[in-house]
Structure 1
């Protein structure tokens, strides 16, 4: 359920219910996912969809009734033996803190269980406390730190290297 926000021009609070569904992300969805990152990021997602077709990963989408993705993320089954590794999780900024991230993570965990695996892992940037708080609420526990880096496109179209430190987290899925 989404809570409305009052503006200066409209002093009325409202509650809006948005029905969503979960499905695999498809290549034709990518033009509607520009909110999730730069063109470079979407090229990476497109490559991951090819891996999904080969069964190496799952790439999920939480969609509106019109079929538009409002949250996306993947599970990599090759990154860590015996576990599914959640990565590239993103929620449309206007709909953050509405439960879509929780829905996405729980669906990813079910995909991991469906593969006969009993552990989920992820890395969250140290400077993203909101995401880390979500993962902790969902039962993930920190077990280490590791650097991560990727190329990203700047507003002027130049590619730059983004380097960060991530907290490594895991969750046992057998309970």
Structure 2
């Protein structure tokens, strides 16, 4: 698949087109994914990759021609009956709004369909309108709200609790 990236900071407004592929995220990819979150987050992703080995989840990576992940995200098959739940979707910040999130979500939906499931679900933080707009463009519909909380590690190693409200969304496949 080809992906177009436009550099807004360059006065010539150059466009670069590069092929990208979608594959399973592997443990050896994690050092290249520090852009996706804190060290605590990456340890959590590593634990989820162990669940992927047992088939409970899929964890995908959108990769450049040199096989570096630039978008990652998981699908949990244990959260909702007869649905795949997308979670921990992230795109390298410098490449956001270039179609990589769309590609990642569509690949996740394809994995869900291949499991014989006909619904995808996700939760998006209320204060993330860009992500919500993407999911709505892709056909996801809000059906509720719920509080979420997790611990985050700061740059100094301190741990702080992050609390938010998420909009629950779903889509028939």
Give the deviation of 1:126 after TM superposition.
0.2
Q: How many residues are aligned here?
A: 170
**Number of the residue aligned with 2:29:** 29
**Number of the residue aligned with 1:114:** 114
Q: TM-score, normalised by structure 1?
A: 0.96
Distance between the aligned counterparts of 1:52 and 1:26, measured in 2?
Answer: 10
Distance between the aligned counterparts of 2:18 and 2:97, measured in 1?
Answer: 14
**Number of the residue aligned with 1:4:** 7
> What is the RMSD computed on CA atoms of the aligned residues?
0.7
| Paired residue secondary structure (1:82) | coil
**Number of the residue aligned with 2:136:** 136
More displaced 10-residue stretch of structure 1: 151-160 or 77-86: 151-160
Q: TM-score, normalised by structure 2?
A: 0.97
Give the deviation of 1:156 after TM superposition.
1.4
**Number of the residue aligned with 2:84:** 84
Q: Quick check: 1:68 aligned with 2:71?
A: no
* TM-superposition CA deviations, 1:138-169 (whole Å, max 9, x none): 00000000011111101211111111100000
Distance between the aligned counterparts of 2:59 and 2:13, measured in 1?
Answer: 35
**Structure 1 gap ranges (5+):** none
Q: Which runs of structure 1 show a deviation greater than 3 angstroms over 4 or more consecutive aligned residues?
A: none
| Paired residue secondary structure (1:17) | strand
